[in-house]
Amino acid sequence: MNDFGSTDVNTDRFLTVSEAAELLKVSVADVHELISSGELQAFQVGSRGPWRIEHHILELFIAEQYEISRRSAMWNNSSVASANNITDF
Q: Where are the domains of the chain?
A: 14-86
Beta bridge partners of 43: 52
Q: How far apart are CA 18 and CA 8, in angstroms?
A: 25
Q: According to the model, what pLDDT value does residue 73 have?
A: 85
What pLDDT score does 83 carry?
59
Radius of gyration of the chain (CA): 18
Quote the pLDDT of residue 64. 96
The residues with which 34 forms a beta bridge, in sequence order, are none
How many residues can be counted in the chain?
Answer: 89
- Of 81, 10, 15, whose CA–CA distance to 42 is shortest? 15
pLDDT of residue 9: 59
| Mean pLDDT of the residues in the chain | 86
How many whole angstroms separate alpha carbon 72 and alpha carbon 65?
A: 10
For 36-63, the pLDDT digits (tens) are 999 999 999 999 999 999 999 999 999 9
Strand partners, 52: 16, 43
**pLDDT at residue number 77:** 78
Q: What is the CATH number of domain 14-86?
A: 1.10.1660
